[in-house]
Structures are given as C-alpha cells and as structure tokens.
Amino acid sequence: MADARAAYREAMRLAEAGLTVNPTNADALASAAVFAAKAGEWPTARERLRAAQQLAPDNVQVTFRAAVLHALSGETAAALDALESAVHLGFSRTTIAADEDFTALKKMPRFKALVDEAPSNGRPR
C-alpha cells in the first residue's frame, strides 16, 4: 500500500507540473484530484476536483473522475449521481464496467442500470 501511495504521489506531482503550463486544463485537474485521493491527500483531491468542475462542468472526463473520487471516499450516492451524469454525457459502458474504483458499487442495482444505459461506444445518446 505504501508503494501504491508513493506512485500516486509521483503521478500527482507530474500532473501538478503539467498544470503549471496550463492551469486551466480541467482534465488534468480532475486526474490530479484522483491521484491525490489515491495518495491519501483528500483536501488536495477535493480542491482539484472543485476547480475542474468549475472550469468544465459538462466535461465527460471531469464528471467521470468526480464519480471515481466519490466512490473512493465512500460517498456512494454522490458517486452514482456523478456516474449518471457521465453516462448522460456519453461515457463508455466498457470503461465504467472495468473500472476497479467502482468495486464497492458494482453489485448495486443502480450501478448495473447505469452500465446498461451507458453507450457501448462512448458517444452521447
């Protein structure tokens, strides 16, 4: 676990370095948020996600990463709500179903329904 956290801290450092070049890159901010969460840096994770959502509230990648962050923090309802938004924005069924960050949600009827509803090719319906 310590090795994984160290790897996520390094990923977070690299994402943050990229943000110095383009601080308004919502995808990079959302990625940094997930890396921070996985490194145990929850205040940073929430700050980066909030910034990403302010910059690009309808960005499918930002919305999906919000679902991941909420799932990682145990916020089931918020994770499912964000995942529903990502599905409506066209996020891929295959990616959702395969994402290990949703392990705790995968047996829930709402999660299964969202996977079924998601487009198989990742395009908005």
The pLDDT tens digits for 96-116 are: 999 999 999 999 999 999 999
Same structural domain for residues 73 and 115? yes
Residue 63 pLDDT > 90, yes or no?
yes
- Asked whether residue 53 is assigned to any structural domain, the reply reads no
Q: What percent of the chain has pLDDT over 70?
A: 95
Instruction: Clarify whether residues 62 and 118 are in a common domain.
Output: yes
The domain total for the chain is 2
CA distance 49 to 44: 8
User: Model confidence at 13, in pLDDT bands (50, 70, 90)?
Assistant: confident
Burial 3-20 (b: 16+ CB within 10 A, else e): eeeeebbebbeebbebbe
Q: Quick one: 87 and 122 in the same domain? A: yes
Structural domain span for residue 87: 58-125
Looking at the fold, whether 15 and 74 belong to one and the same domain comes out as no
Same domain, 63 and 120: yes
